Amino acid sequence: MSAEFGGRKGSSSASAVGPRQQMFSLLMGCYAAQCIAVAADLRIADHLHEAPQRPSDLAHDTRCDARALHRLLRALAGIGVFHERDDGSFELTAAGALLRSDVPGSLQPIARLIGSDLQWPTLGKLSHTVRTGEPAFEHVFGMSMWEYLATHPDAHALFQASMSAFSTAEVRAILDHYDFSDAITVVDVAGGQGTLLAAIVDKYPHVEGILFEQPEVTREARDQFVANGLGHRCRAIAGDMFSTIPSGADCYIMKSVLHDWDDERATQLLRTCRDAMVDRATLLIITRVVRPANEPDLSKFQDLNMLINLNGAERTADEFRELLGNADLHLDEIIATPSPLSILVCTSAASGRPS
């Protein structure tokens, strides 16, 4: 097995990999993901950030079996997460450093979420979703993901930390590729703890921000706004986004929101937002846009993640145009960013400009 997975010594290009070896490497990807998740959960990168350590020392600090931990580290060194030195100690690589908890853009909570009891079991039931079209999450846990998070504080905290980790890495790309200088009031719909909104308001001193979220999230967001010195220009309002959204703003944002919902619920949400928009108001849908057929795209796997957990979907540009049209909205422009997300600039169908 190891010979086929590792390939022939001296192989230097993807073209040298045969279809059998290529397929086997893909199959082993589940092991890589779980190994990374375990290393993140054990905070291995935090332990290694000052100096290389031997597995026996790491095992003592993390309360693990030394031999088993060495085998985990060896496997991860083989895919570039760590590096094994000649003296048998391990050190961080640039990729592995992203698993530290104290660095900008840390992927630690995301790795922990992917390998957690919240997400991993549902991936194992992908076949249920493919056969029935129903979310595997409800099949595994007997309730929706939102209901589960509402009753499991630890899972909710990990989920929110993961969403914040995504936002931190994406906010800079958004601010670098969209000019908010014409906005006066920005409403961030389901904007989590307000990371993006705070960054916009901080960069544009004339802008006032409104975060529209669930009650338990708005309480946390208000504290964050105050801590960042933005409490006088950022408000957090609680409500049900499917019923009503604060009206009268000239810019609305939905970042990584629509992919949580199927077409029917996504259309309902867009219509609620359309009803709140004044003439010439802009809606920015910040989201993944699935690439055309046969093009490599992690969004196509993220689409399956949304399907098995929430019955949601990542969408192509054409699917977004249809969805928006059903809500009397028009897609004016798609702005690509260096992050996985694009910015879809939308206006009401009556005022929309041709793409």
Known catalytic residues? 259
Largest CA distance in the chain: 69
- Alpha-carbon 142 to chain mean position: 24
Q: C-alpha distances in angstroms, 6 versus 11, 28, 34, 107?
A: 10, 11, 18, 26
125 φ, ψ (degrees, to nearest 5): -110, 25
**What does the DSSP 8-state code read for residue 180?**
-
Instruction: Give CA–CA dist 325/255, Å, rounded.
Output: 19
Strand 282-287 relative to strand 289-290, pairing = unpaired
Helices (H), the chain: 2-6, 19-27, 29-41, 44-48, 55-62, 66-77, 108-114, 120-123, 126-132, 136-141, 145-151, 153-177, 195-203, 215-227, 263-276, 299-310, 317-326
In terms of Cα–Cα distance, which of 266, 248, 246 is closest to 324? 266
Could you tell me the two tokens for 23?
């397929």
In terms of Cα–Cα distance, which of 99, 94, 89 is closest to 42? 99
Instruction: Give CA–CA dist 283/345, Å, rounded.
Output: 6
